[in-house]
Amino acid sequence: MITYEAARVQMVNTQLRTSDVTSYPILSAFLEIPREAFVPQELKQFAYFDEHLQIKPSSHTSPARYLMAPMPIAKLLQLAKVDKKSKVLEIGAASGYVTALLSQLASSVVALESDSYLFKSASETLSSLGYRNVTIINAPLEAGYQPSSPYDVIFLNGSVETIPLALIEQLNENGRLIAVKGYDQAAKSWVYIKRFGKVSSYPSFNVNLKPLPGFCKDDEFIF
């Protein structure tokens, strides 16, 4: 049976490098961080598969939540251009895997998670693995986290219908917001950049992600 370490190397070589992920810090983070630590026991054998993994089923009060497949995470992180000076806000920490990747790349990370179970799970996993530059907040995702703003990068860990004004207002000058708008095959990654108090945006690549809860069309920011 292949070891997790070997699966990690295989993931980077066959899923990331072949998809034009060339950033050395990003590739290094994927090689180092144990993805299997961020999924339930019954999913550990699938941790390095090229697919989204359901880490929490839906209920009458909340939708199902997923850990994104490795390739789209890596490509979105490459768009974000996070470096060791960056203060990052992650929207939708889920199990904490993307939080851990951002922690390796950034100066500090504020990670929002609205689901109490996932918040507790992510907090415990990140703490046990020694990530000290991360603050996890249990709060609604669409409002961002104004007390620690502004942020150099805001990273949405899932697809949304709209980008709320509250998130745009929490961007630093020259800050970048990375989001996937739309669902299924119509979804596309977008980069939003704030310069001189104004926001410009451009599309990047098509990508199919699972949705984040809480982002209603009524709250859309009009550019």
pLDDT at 12: 98
Band of pLDDT at residue 222, cut at 50, 70 and 90? very low
Gap between the Cα atoms of 115 and 113, Å rounded: 6
Average of per-residue pLDDT across 18-45: 98
AA letter at 210: K
Q: Is the pLDDT of residue 220 over 90?
A: no
pLDDT at 217: 63
- Interior angle at CA 48, CA 47 and CA 51, nearest 5: 85
CATH number of 4-219: 3.40.50.150
Q: Is the pLDDT of residue 221 over 60?
A: no
Candidate from 93-97, 130-134, 184-188 with smallest mean pLDDT: 184-188
Domain spans in the chain, listed from the N-terminal domain onward: 4-219
Task: Kindly state the tokens that stand for 27.
Answer: 């590739």
Q: What is the pLDDT of residues 36-46, one digit of tens each?
A: 999 999 999 99
* pTM of full prediction above 0.75: yes
Candidate from 7-11, 53-57, 106-110, 215-219 with smallest mean pLDDT: 215-219
Of 70, 64, 79, 106, the residue nearest 189 (C-alpha):
79
Q: What is the pLDDT of residues 49-68, one digit of tens each?
A: 999 999 999 888 788 999 99
Q: Alpha carbon of 63 to those of 58, 69, 114, 188: distances in Å?
A: 4, 18, 12, 21
Which residue, chain included where needed, has tokens 């895997």?
97
User: Which runs of E-coded beta strand occur in 57-187?
Assistant: 65-67, 87-91, 108-113, 134-138, 151-160, 171-181
Gap between the Cα atoms of 106 and 157, Å rounded: 16
Candidate from 124-128, 143-147, 194-198 with smallest mean pLDDT: 194-198
